[in-house]
Amino acid sequence: MIYLDHAATTPLDKRVLEAMTPYFCEQFGNASSQHSLGRTAANAVTEARDFIARTVGCHADEIYFTSGGTEADNWALRGIYAATKGHIVLSAIEHPAMINCAKQLQKEGANLTLVFPDKSGVVSAQSIEAAMRPDTVFVGVMSANNETGVLQPVKQIAALCAQRGVFFYSDCVQSAGVLPFDIENVGGIGFSAHKFYGPKGVGVLYLKRGTPIGRLIIGGMQERGMRGGTTPVANIVGCAKALELAVTDREMKERYVALVRNRFEEKIFASLKGVTVNGTAPRLPAHSNLCFEGCEGEQILMLADMLGIAISTGSACAAGAVTPSHVLTAMGLSEEQSRSSVRFSFGKDNTLYQAEQAAGIIIKIVNKIRG
């Protein structure tokens, strides 16, 4: 199997599994218990939190562990809205974890403005500024889009929000571990361990000290009383270990993954006409979202799967849904172009040979579909 769906999830790194293993069996203590087993678990969580805070560039008490990216996004948006009740501005290309949560808040009475990207996939700071109102309390723009990989001008948007005293949140699920964190002027970010070779079921919400936000889960005093529930120690240890590995030689891995992705695209473009890249602006090294004229993306996906290549159409979370990708249509693609699009996402373990093999198979599939 040639796995080209790293934007959906990544395999657990064996070194991460090794770091996690003791906390399933021998060191199984509840991190809230007073005895030594409990203290060992609590220390492991403290170490993990400290490491993640240092890597993000914040204080340890600004890090909350969640069940993943969806929970971090939901908590930030819902929590801040509940505390402030103001106008919400989101990019129209946010993950469903943000968009659908905001639409639910809209049903509950919130004012929401969605800001569309240009054709290249970028949501400009100017268009965000134009959408802001005197009562805006929350602006959310992801650091990089999960379908196209296109990088968003979050630094400028964060500065704009800071000038106006508006909370800025950035979903960093796709960029965490790939790009350095930059939280200057940023009120909150969220990310998820399974996107960088960590375990599924654990994520991080960074929230700047003093952010007005309510508790997510009412229970015990875990996560400083903000999110009750027994601490998933092994997952948290795994999240920190995966992040440590991801940021080690980060730039080298980034260059390598881009090289593999570019080799794949070069081969596709050399042999096929009627193929375009969705998202022509600078993007993450892993992503290649291509529109194959005259083909159904779902058909390419199924044939590729039969031939041993794992890819996706739209975002994994939307797979199976009949509606075309909201990201691609927001960028101005027609429904047909959106349905003809496929996302390939590369990872550190893909080889140049695999990129060439995969391109060769995709070329054959597309030629066959086009007849």
Q: How far is the CB of 160 from ligand PLP (least distance, A)?
A: 21
Amino acid, res. 110: A
The helix (run of H) or strand (run of E) holding residue 91 is: strand 87-91
289: contact with ligand PLP by CB under 6 A: no
- Minimum separation from the CB atom of position 11 to ligand PLP (A): 15
288 binds ligand PLP (CB under 6 A): no
Q: Is 95 in the site for ligand PLP (CB under 6 A)?
A: yes
What residues pair up with 190 in beta bridges, in sequence order?
171, 205
| DSSP letters for 245-256 | HHHTTHHHHHHH
CB of 298 to ligand PLP, least distance (A): 19
Q: Which stretch binds ligand PLP (CB under 6 A): 49-57, 65-73, 267-275, 297-305?
A: 65-73
Integer Cα distance of 201 and 216 in angstroms: 16
Which residues are part of the catalytic machinery?
317
For residue 174, the number of C-alpha atoms closer than 13 Å in the C-beta half-sphere is 27
Q: How far is the CB of 343 from ligand PLP (least distance, A)?
A: 11
179 binds ligand PLP (CB under 6 A): no
In the complex with ligand PLP, the residue whose CB is nearer, 91 or 146, is 146
Q: Please give the Cα distance from 207 to 104 (Å, whole number).
A: 22
Residue 148 near residue 278, CB atoms below 8 Å: yes
Strands (E), the chain: 2-3, 63-66, 87-91, 112-115, 136-140, 167-171, 188-192, 203-207, 275-277, 287-292, 309-310, 341-345
- Considering only 10, 174, 222, 325, the residue that binds ligand PLP (CB under 6 A) is 174
Amino acid (one-letter) located at 214: G
In angstroms, the CA 300 to CA 125 distance is 36
As measured in angstroms, the least distance from the Cβ of 70 to ligand PLP is 3
Closer of 299 and 315 to ligand PLP (Cβ) = 315
Cα–Cα distance, 191 to 183 (Å, whole number): 13
Q: Which is nearer to ligand PLP, 95 or 261 (CB)?
A: 95
Count the residues in the chain.
Answer: 371
- The correct pick among 5, 56, 69, 278 for binding ligand PLP (CB under 6 A) is 69
Q: Count CB neighbours of 252 within 10 A.
A: 10
Q: Which residues pair with 205 in a beta bridge?
A: 64, 190
10 binds ligand PLP (CB under 6 A): no
- Note whether 192 binds ligand PLP by CB under 6 A: yes
Residue 286 beta carbon to ligand PLP: minimum distance, rounded to whole angstroms: 12
Among 10, 40, 55, 70, binds ligand PLP (CB under 6 A): 70
- Per-residue binding letters, 118-147, with ligand PLP (x by CB under 6 A): ------------------------x---x-
Given the complex with ligand PLP, which of 97 and 275 has the nearer CB atom? Answer: 97
Q: Is 317 in the site for ligand PLP (CB under 6 A)?
A: yes
CA distance 244 to 117: 33
Note whether 287 binds ligand PLP by CB under 6 A.
no
| Residue placing its CB nearer to ligand PLP in the complex, 81 or 299 | 81
Give the C-alpha separation, 129 to 108, whole Å: 25
Return all residues near 289 (Cβ < 8 A) that are at least 6 apart.
147, 148, 149, 277, 278, 279, 328, 341, 342, 343, 344
Size of the site for ligand PLP (CB under 6 A): 16
CB closer to ligand PLP, 29 vs 297: 297
Numbers of helices and strands, H then E, in the chain? 12, 12
User: For the sheet containing 275-277, what is the strand order?
Assistant: 275-277, 287-292, 341-345
The stretch among 167-175, 299-307, 334-342, 361-369 that binds ligand PLP (CB under 6 A) is: 167-175
Region binding ligand PLP by CB under 6 A among candidate stretches 14-22, 82-90, 114-122, 310-318? 310-318
Q: Is 30 exposed, middle or buried (0-12, 13-18, 19+ CB in 10 A)?
A: middle
CB nearer ligand PLP, residue 259 or residue 317: 317
List residues binding ligand PLP (CB under 6 A).
68-70, 73, 95, 97, 142, 146, 171, 173-174, 192, 203, 315-317
